Amino acid sequence: MRGFFISFEGGEGAGKTTLIEEMARQLSKEGHHVLKTREPGGTKLGEHIRAILLQHTEPVSAYAELSLFLASRAQHIMEVIGPALEAGKIVLCDRFNDSSVAYQGAARGLGMEQVSAFCKFISQGVEPQLTLYLDLDPRIGLARAAKERKQDRIEAETIMFHEKIREAYLEIHRAERHRFHLIDANLPPAKVFEEAMKLVHQHV
C-alpha cells in the first residue's frame, strides 16, 4: 500500500475529533492527500451500525457488540480505507482495532488477546502504521463529552468500565511502543496538536 495509516485512540471526550480536524488541515497544507474517517462508521453500512451500537436501548450481548463493530470495520476497510491507502493517501481514522481490544476485550471482559486475534482476522493485514493515543482521566473526558451532547449507550457505562478502558490502552502502550504513542490529553489543544505533529513528521 502506498499511503500511510494513522489511527487515533482514547477514552470518551479525549479530543480525537478536535485533533484530527487540525491535523487534516495541516497535512493538506503540506501537500498531502488526506482522508478523515471514523469508526464505527465511515460507510453507509457502517453509519447504520453506528446508530444501532450507540443508540440501542435494550441490553446488548458483548459478543453481538463486538461483531457489530467488526462488521462496520470490515466494510470500512473494503470501501474506504483500503482504496485510500492504495491511492497513496494519509488516512486519519478516529478509532480502529485498539478500541475493540480496550472496550470489548478489556472493559466488556471478552479478553484482550482473543479480541485482538478477531481484529487481525477481520482487518486482513490493514493495520495502522502509527497510533496516537490521547491519555486522559475518564472523569475529565466524560465531563468534556457531556458538555457537547447527551450521553450515548457506551458513555453511560460506569466509571469502573471507563477506567478499565484506560488501563487497557496503557497496557497496549507498554507492549507496542514503536506504534502506539501516548500524548497527554490534559494539555491544551494547541499543545496536543504540536506533540501529535512531531510524531507524524517523524513517521510520514
Residue ranges in contact with ligand T5A by CB under 6 A: 10, 12-18, 39-40, 54, 69, 94-95, 99-100, 103-104, 144-145, 147-148, 154-155, 185, 187-189, 192
Question: Toward ligand T5A, which CB reaches closer, 12 or 34?
Answer: 12
Question: Toward ligand T5A, which CB reaches closer, 19 or 130?
Answer: 19
Residue 46 and residue 39: Cα distance in Å, rounded?
8
Q: What angle do CA 43, 124, 71 make, to 5 degrees?
A: 40
Question: Toward ligand T5A, which CB reaches closer, 76 or 89?
Answer: 76
Report in angstroms how near the CB of residue 31 gets to ligand T5A at its nearest: 25
Contacts 24+ apart (CB under 8 A), 17-25: 17/94, 18/189, 18/192, 19/132, 19/134, 19/189, 19/192, 19/193, 19/196, 20/92, 20/94, 22/189, 22/193, 23/92, 23/193, 23/196, 23/197, 23/200, 24/92
Question: Toward ligand T5A, which CB reaches closer, 27 or 107?
Answer: 107
Report in angstroms how near the CB of residue 181 gets to ligand T5A at its nearest: 16
Report in angstroms how near the CB of residue 16 gets to ligand T5A at its nearest: 4
Question: Toward ligand T5A, which CB reaches closer, 34 or 53?
Answer: 53
Query: In this chain, which residue has its C-beta nearest to ligand T5A?
Result: 15
**Bridge partners of 7?**
93, 131
Report in angstroms how near the CB of residue 175 gets to ligand T5A at its nearest: 18
